[in-house]
Structure formats: C-alpha cells, structure tokens
C-alpha cells in the first residue's frame, strides 16, 4: 500500500482487513474494513492513530509510511484519538521500534494505555480541550475532547493548515477501500455500498451515543473543514459535509423520526407466524410503504439492527415458545435495548400452540424503549380467514402511521 496525499504535509495510510473475524467480536465484516492512520509532517512528524496486529495491518501501514520516506522510528509524536484496540493494539510493538516518540492522548486515554498495555509511564502526554502541538513549518495540531464518541476518552485532532479533521471512529464505515481512499475516487454504486456500510457501522457501534455525535458536530461547527479523515472508511476531501450530514441524520434516528420504511423482523417454527406476516405485508403493500424482511435467527443481528435503526416502523412477528417469547426475538430486543432503538411505531404479531405467553415477556423486554404500539394480534395455530383480514388491516394501519411520521 502507498500513502495517499491529502496535502504536501498530510498523508493517509491505510490497511485493508479481509477476515472472517467479527469486528469487536460481534459484527460481521464480509466486505472487510479499513484501518486508517495519518501522518502530518512539519519539522516534526506526527502519526495519528495506530492499528492492531490484524491481517498484516502493521506491514501495510509500514509500507505506506516507507512510500513517503518515513519509518516508524522517525515518528516524533504518536497521537491516539481513541484507545479501542483496533487503533492501539500494536502499541507495544510500536514502542519497541520507537522509544523516543511522545504518545499523546487525553487523560482518560492515558489511563487506558496503562491498563491495556502496561507500558512504562514515560513519554506520555495528556492533552485537554484546545491544547495545541506545533510541528513546525506552519503545521499546528489542535485537540478537541469529544467524550463518548464512542468511548469516554475520545478526542478529535484538527490540522488548521490543511483543514483536516482526524476523527477516528466518528464518520467511519465498514468496508475495505482497496487502492483508493478519497470520496471523489469512488463511483455512485460504490458510494451506495459505503452508505449502507456506514449506516450499519453507525447502528452497530455508535447509535447508543447519538447525543454525543450531535454535541461534537456542534462543538466543531466553526472550523473550516476541508477534509474529514476517519480511521475507518472513505476520506472525505471533495465533500466533507456529506458524511457529517449523514451522521447527523443517523443521530436523529435515535430519537425519531426515522425513514418512512418498515423493518419486518420475524421468526417462525412451522410457518404459521409467517402466514400471518404475509397478511400484514399485503396491508403494507396496499399503502406503498417500502419494507425489508429479516428472518431471525438466520440473519445476523448486525443487519437486523441496521434496518431497524433507520426504519420508522417495525413489525415483530414471533411464535410463543414454551410459554414465552421466541428466544431469538428475546436476543434481538436485548440488543435493541442496548443500542437505544427508541421512538418506533411497532406491531407485534404471532402464533401460539397450547397457550399464549409471549406478551408478558415481550412487554418486560421493551420497557423504556418509548415505542408507539399498535394493538398486538395473536392467534392459535394457523391464522384463519378472520385473522388474516385483521392482520392485513393492521399492516395497513402501521403503514399509514409510518407515512405520518
């Protein structure tokens, strides 16, 4: 990999990760992910954000550094905007190669360095909001604390000379980059792919912290941002506002209103709940509202979460299982709770065999999510004609409510 030139003093280095490993040990990345680091070169050299030793990432970054005539030993400052190990896991190895570089992060970040990496407590500097670092030749970096974006210690680094904002996880996405990194180098189809992957990344990683996304954007709004440089995904030099606006839109989904779409999340043991769901779909289609279907547990929660997060309406279709909720739905609702999937308009339906029982379990699981509920509909065994008519009407009612969103 070669370094990518942002200006004659600022460079992007990236490692493409292709793996069957799960990101954070939870989220699948079938199209990979990039780990981006950056160099700002004045009289001194700053390396911004690191990598973990994952699918040859250190070698990829080293090759990119070498392509601009730098090696790890030449780095004067290592700036760590965020301490999650995808950006810091290689810290001990970096330290073995470079014993002189000052490692710069927030005070909370220093605590995490000590707890994760047990490094000697030398060569570490804590910075706070508004502190600067003069690299010489007109390159002055400014640090802005952006707590809970998405960890408590996070900060964003600003290079005034180039107008580049180094944001680490914020404004990032899943998806490897290949030979290109800049927004103007990808075609429309590729941008559609990265938009889907940025939504999934946001829903999976950032959604619980949406209020802090809004707070950070507000804090930085006076800067003349000419390039947004995240540590995952595309570098936005042509139209940085695209990704900033996109993230602000995603942040609003956390409190509603979301998109006028319906995510139908369903599980069925022998097809009777699915038969009822088909009637609901007929009602939705009559209103022309777009919908997506997500069978659980077949579909990975990462994708279910992404669809639910952006949709104003949800249908949760599940059978009663041993007097309680269908277990895969219980897992989905637990994740929804953790990721703050709030403010939705929701219809719950399902079939039961001997006796119902999902209701009580369900109501306990969704407490606090501030959902607007349509009246639930359950039936014994297969849905009869009267039930199918009622289910179709309920689907239409939901679609109309979503259109009013």
**Closer of 232 and 237 to ligand FEO (Cβ):** 232
**Closer of 232 and 348 to ligand FEO (Cβ):** 232
Residue 12 CB-density burial (10 A; 0-12 exposed, 13-18 middle, 19+ buried) = buried
CB 210, min distance to ligand FEO, A: 15
Tokens standing for residue 309 = 């997060």
- Residue range at the interface with ligand FEO (CB under 6 A); choices 81-89, 123-131, 250-258, 298-306: 81-89
Looking at residue 86, the DSSP 8-state letter turns out to be T
Tokens standing for residue 369 = 């999510």
Ranges within 237-266 binding ligand FEO (CB under 6 A)? none
Helices of type H across 43-159: 57-67, 91-97, 107-117
Q: Judge whether 238 and 184 are in contact, CB under 8 Å.
A: yes
Tokens standing for residue 338 = 């953790």
**Closer of 86 and 387 to ligand FEO (Cβ):** 86
Tokens standing for residue 25 = 């040990």
Q: Which of 16, 76, 159, 169 binds ligand FEO (CB under 6 A)?
A: 169
Ranges within 114-153 binding ligand FEO (CB under 6 A)? 150
Gap between the Cα atoms of 95 and 101, Å rounded: 8
Compute how many residues bind ligand FEO; rule: CB under 6 A. Answer: 8
Buried b or exposed e, range 317-335, using 16+ CB within 10 angstroms = bbbbbeeebbebbbebbeb
Report the DSSP beta bridge partners of residue 126: 105
Q: Which of 4, 14, 44, 82 binds ligand FEO (CB under 6 A)?
A: 82
- Residue range at the interface with ligand FEO (CB under 6 A); choices 73-81, 83-91, 273-281, 303-311: 83-91
Ranges within 219-238 binding ligand FEO (CB under 6 A)? 231-232
Report the DSSP beta bridge partners of residue 124: 103
DSSP 163-190: TEEEEETTT--SB--TT--BGGGS-HHH
Residue 280 CB-density burial (10 A; 0-12 exposed, 13-18 middle, 19+ buried) = buried
Q: Which residue is nearest to ligand FEO (CB)?
A: 84
CB 94, min distance to ligand FEO, A: 17
Ranges within 38-67 binding ligand FEO (CB under 6 A)? none
Tokens standing for residue 259 = 């998109």
Interface with ligand FEO, residue 86, by CB under 6 A: yes
* SS3 assignment, position 396: helix
**Closer of 84 and 145 to ligand FEO (Cβ):** 84
- Residue range at the interface with ligand FEO (CB under 6 A); choices 40-48, 56-64, 80-88, 189-197: 80-88
Interface with ligand FEO, residue 87, by CB under 6 A: yes
**Closer of 56 and 67 to ligand FEO (Cβ):** 56
**Closer of 41 and 52 to ligand FEO (Cβ):** 52
Residue 221, Cα to own-chain centre: how many angstroms? 22
Interface with ligand FEO, residue 183, by CB under 6 A: no
User: Which positions touch ligand FEO (CB under 6 A)?
Assistant: 82, 84, 86-87, 150, 169, 231-232
């Amino acid at each position: 990999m070669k370094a990518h030139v942002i200006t004659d003093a600022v460079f992007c280095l990236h490692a493409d990760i292709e793996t069957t490993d799960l990101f954070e040990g939870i989220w699948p990345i079938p199209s990979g992910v990039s780990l981006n680091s950056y160099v700002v070169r004045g009289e001194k050299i700053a390396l911004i954000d690191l990598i973990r030793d994952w699918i040859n990432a250190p070698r990829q970054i080293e090759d990119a550094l070498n392509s601009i005539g730098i090696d790890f030993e030449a780095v004067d400052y290592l700036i760590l905007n965020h301490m999650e190990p995808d950006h810091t896991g290689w810290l001990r190895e970096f330290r073995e190669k470079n014993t002189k570089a000052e490692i710069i992060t927030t005070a909370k970040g220093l605590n995490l360095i000590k707890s994760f990496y047990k490094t000697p407590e030398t060569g570490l500097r804590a910075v706070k909001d508004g502190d600067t670092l003069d690299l010489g030749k007109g390159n002055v970096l400014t640090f802005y604390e952006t707590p809970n974006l998405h960890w408590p210690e996070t900060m964003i680094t600003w290079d005034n000379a180039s107008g580049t904002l180094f944001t680490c996880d914020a404004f990032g996405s899943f998806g490897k980059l290949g030979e290109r990194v800049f927004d103007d180098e990808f075609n429309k189809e590729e941008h559609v792919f990265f938009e889907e992957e940025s939504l999934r990344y946001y829903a999976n990683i950032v959604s619980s912290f949406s209020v802090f996304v809004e707070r950070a954007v507000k804090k930085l709004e006076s800067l003349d941002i000419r390039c947004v440089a995240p540590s995952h995904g595309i570098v936005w030099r042509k139209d940085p506002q695209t990704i900033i606006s996109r993230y602000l839109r995603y942040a609003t989904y956390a409190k509603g209103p979301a998109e006028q779409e319906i995510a139908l999340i369903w599980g069925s043991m022998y097809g009777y709940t699915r038969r009822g769901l088909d009637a609901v779909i007929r009602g939705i289609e009559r209103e022309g509202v777009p919908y997506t279907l997500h069978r659980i547990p077949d579909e990975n929660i990462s994708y279910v979460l992404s669809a639910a997060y952006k949709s104003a309406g949800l249908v949760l279709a599940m059978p009663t299982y041993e007097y309680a909720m269908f277990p895969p739905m219980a897992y989905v609702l637990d994740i929804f709770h953790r990721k703050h999937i709030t403010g939705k308009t929701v219809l719950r339906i399902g079939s039961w065999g001997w006796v119902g029982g999902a209701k009580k379990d369900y109501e306990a699981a969704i407490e606090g999510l501030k959902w607007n509920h349509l009246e639930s509909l359950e039936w014994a065994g297969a849905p009869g004609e009267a039930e199918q008519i009622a289910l179709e009407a309920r689907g239409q009612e939901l679609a109309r409510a979503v259109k009013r969103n």
